Structure 1
């Protein structure tokens, strides 16, 4: 049964309408904000912005979400999860409004409003994701919580599956691409209405504990991530081994080491590294980072067919229709697999199916018609795999941390989602561009790429960018095998603990 928190003299229980409000809040990032992955090539010329700025606009939202999501999770624990959730929804409205009103060909003003809106959307996601996950854990228990997390996953994974198709549909319709963000505003208002009256939830705090915020850790964390993101995304322009490129890598390494040193010795760390002493949480979070990094598959594969095959954003988005249907159809299957087998097996099965799907999308050496068929099948397998993986991974991450740390743990878990997305997209796009510099004559000499030969460098770059995503899935599988215990082993450890541990006092 769902939990029944008490507020004042009344007992409150979550309803399906309330859960719908949570899903709508979550979907505003994964569905609407992520549409730029497919839409940006078509609107860049209309807005009059350079390609480098357009690419930055794609990745900056996930980057800011990843940077600040742990901060927001900690604030949710201390100030109130409902408060931070409402703040995130209002920020979503503000960010969407800035993008919807972005003027065309006005230079600095256009760039400022586009990037500003994307930054605000990232901050919105940073607030919404950990706060909503913490509220779900607080107000649901057992199978009800697993069901609620499945619907939460429909908002995140399902939204990411629909974003390419939805963005392409809106951008090519008479409504235009700006309608994407107007619709986002309307659904945000509906979410606020459905969530009205949510009782506040906070983590229990020790009044004697020092609660100074770790600003030093946050600063080094920002410097670390921004430096590596700029290096990855701008490497082809500034030069991978140029003085500027080497300086960015040096900043990343130094600030990363300082960040780890500070977090290990801080009483109130920005990122609670002690949570990673739990193998299940570590495996769920690391594999979540890597599988979200596989979002680079979308930007490379869809961008490739738009350039090489002359498809529109809508036509390329249709290739992902099977992804959408599959992920929506299998998320509840993943929930049932979790209940029967525990988290490890469905996480592994899902990752393997996802890897196979991406591998099929990597076969850019074929004829266009053949590649399109394989892409449709590949994206469908991609969706099935993520559907199997989503709920078991989320439940594994949240069920293995203390209640007092659930906001921070949710923040770290979803930080992995956002940073994986940002870094995966940036690396995949960079490899896609770098691969195109290969000598076409050398590629042709291999005799591997059939069909048109005037675009072999483009197709080779696509293959390199996509195979990188396969590699990330392989590493995710390895991380699950090593860190997540099997149910049998877990039950054995629990039995041994019960035999030697004294009976608990109270709750």
Structure 2
């Protein structure tokens, strides 16, 4: 495959688009109180302002990835970006709860089209050591975007108003779309393009949506509530139906055997844990600083700036090292550093200890993102890059939902503002989780997933 001379420019633009999607999760969190006051929203509606986006984003991700394989990653990137941009304008203009939630749903649909297609395009543009570096940049922008979202949310909410957390996407989205239309290479024509497996898409989307819905609501309703267990059971049934269907249709959405590959299993495990840790420390840190310490939105946002920088640095460093040390070493080191970082606010109280600790954790999480991406995607075939990216991105959203659900349950009393003990317990749990994941990664993550591996280590999957 020839090297595209515009690949680094394309990466910068694709990274900017992905940055917008990730940022839109945390940028809204800081604006929620002001949003609720202006639109007279209930607590449940405020929760769904965040959850409606993540639910559609995660639920439709695999469909978006498969669509990129069938119809072209370039086409899906541009379409998804324009849908997301238009939806951002609608959300900013919202004068009611229904319009606000409809805009967030549409943003999630655009994000689910854009994110896996963009990651698939990155794996097409880069090869070998350059792919590791490119994925380091990609992971740094994604991880840093979540932290910068807290800062930007504080700046915009305290300045022109909460509507601008959505309006800011409009000019950026239009400019990036125009630039990408000129820099991205044309899609490779697909001969005898099969039809999209619509029943399979509906089953896997409904299954993923049910699972994420259960995780989102577990914090409030309880892990053993009938609603939570019922949603998990429904998700399991829908996934089982999806697996059966994929073995019987001529043009499956995804061959389930891709999930038996060791690199894919290891990569999805790492992305799940890393995202859960990242969202957990942002969630806990935001509530700790605002509710327990009494800091304003702008002050809180500024304190998250070193977290963003550390995440980007950690990902960039890992991108440079993963080709030399291998994915396993980077994964174990990244998760160990994340464990040390989350242990700091568990052992010491105060804003300084919190910011220092979650900054260290951010560096470790950034490195883990790179290990996860390179492990799962380094040897994906061109015709399945979209599906592999969709799987990875789906588990990213699972991780975010699991992280919030678990730590919000552990720190419930502290989030309500009655005590600080819950924060200590939640950070302790995060530190133990990171340490356990580091140990498990030493076992399940391949030392390397490069082209010099023997073929028997990686079963071939035929995608029709």
Q: TM-score higher than 0.5 here?
A: yes
Distance 1:68 1:338 in 2: 30
- Identify which of 71, 82, 98 aligns with 2:63: 71
- The equivalent residue for 1:449 is none
- Identify which of 303, 309, 313 aligns with 1:329: 313
Give 3-state SS (helix, strand or coil) of 1:196's partner: helix
Where structure 2 has 5 or more consecutive residues not aligned to the other structure, the ranges are 458-464
Distance 1:262 1:479 in 2: 32
Of residues 145-154 and 293-302 in structure 1, the stretch that sits farther from structure 2 once superposed is 145-154
- Identify which of 396, 402, 414 aligns with 1:423: 402
- What does 1:399-410 correspond to in 2, within 5 Å? 399-410=378-389
Where structure 1 has 5 or more consecutive residues not aligned to the other structure, the ranges are 5-11, 104-109, 438-453, 498-507
State whether residues 81 and 200 of structure 1, in contact with CA within 8 Å, keep that contact through their aligned partners in structure 2. Answer: no
- What does 1:117-128 correspond to in 2, within 5 Å? 117-128=103-114
State whether residues 291 and 472 of structure 1, in contact with CA within 8 Å, keep that contact through their aligned partners in structure 2. Answer: no
- Identify which of 216, 219, 223 aligns with 2:202: 219
Question: Structure 1 runs of 4+ off > 6 angstroms?
Answer: 434-437, 489-492
Distance 1:256 1:17, change over 3 A: closer
State whether residues 322 and 371 of structure 2, in contact with CA within 8 Å, keep that contact through their aligned partners in structure 1. Answer: yes
1:349 Cα offset (Å): 0.7
- The equivalent residue for 2:332 is 348
Distance 1:15 1:28, change over 3 A: same
Tell me the TM-score normalized by structure 2: 0.88
- The equivalent residue for 2:158 is 172
CA RMSD of aligned residues (A): 2.9
State whether residues 341 and 359 of structure 2, in contact with CA within 8 Å, keep that contact through their aligned partners in structure 1. Answer: yes
Distance 2:376 2:101 in 1: 32
- What does 1:101-112 correspond to in 2, within 5 Å? 101-103=93-95, 110-112=96-98
1:383 Cα offset (Å): 1.7
Per-residue CA deviations over 1:274-322 (Å, capped at 9, x if unaligned) read 2223212211122101211221221233113312222212222233222
- The equivalent residue for 1:443 is none
Per-residue CA deviations over 1:134-177 (Å, capped at 9, x if unaligned) read 2222222223333322322232122112111121122112x222
- What does 1:486-497 correspond to in 2, within 5 Å? 486-487=447-448, 494=454
State whether residues 215 and 401 of structure 2, in contact with CA within 8 Å, keep that contact through their aligned partners in structure 1. Answer: no
Distance 1:410 1:248, change over 3 A: closer
- What does 1:50-69 correspond to in 2, within 5 Å? 50-69=42-61
Per-residue CA deviations over 1:222-246 (Å, capped at 9, x if unaligned) read 4434444444444566566555455
Distance 1:339 1:167, change over 3 A: same
Per-residue CA deviations over 1:398-449 (Å, capped at 9, x if unaligned) read 1122222111111111111122213322333344337879xxxxxxxxxxxx
Per-residue CA deviations over 1:476-506 (Å, capped at 9, x if unaligned) read 334422322224x989964999xxxxxxxxx
Aligned residues: 455
State whether residues 35 and 164 of structure 1, in contact with CA within 8 Å, keep that contact through their aligned partners in structure 2. Answer: yes
* Larger Rg, first or second structure (1 or 2): 1
- Identify which of 86, 97, 102 aligns with 2:89: 97
- Identify which of 12, 25, 31 aligns with 2:17: 25
Distance 1:122 1:406 in 2: 21
1:385 matched to 2:349? The reply is no
- The equivalent residue for 1:306 is 290
1:90 Cα offset (Å): 0.4
Per-residue CA deviations over 1:356-412 (Å, capped at 9, x if unaligned) read 22232345xx6xxx3212211111112211232233322222112222211111111
State whether residues 32 and 184 of structure 1, in contact with CA within 8 Å, keep that contact through their aligned partners in structure 2. Answer: no
Of residues 409-418 and 393-402 in structure 1, the stretch that sits farther from structure 2 once superposed is 393-402
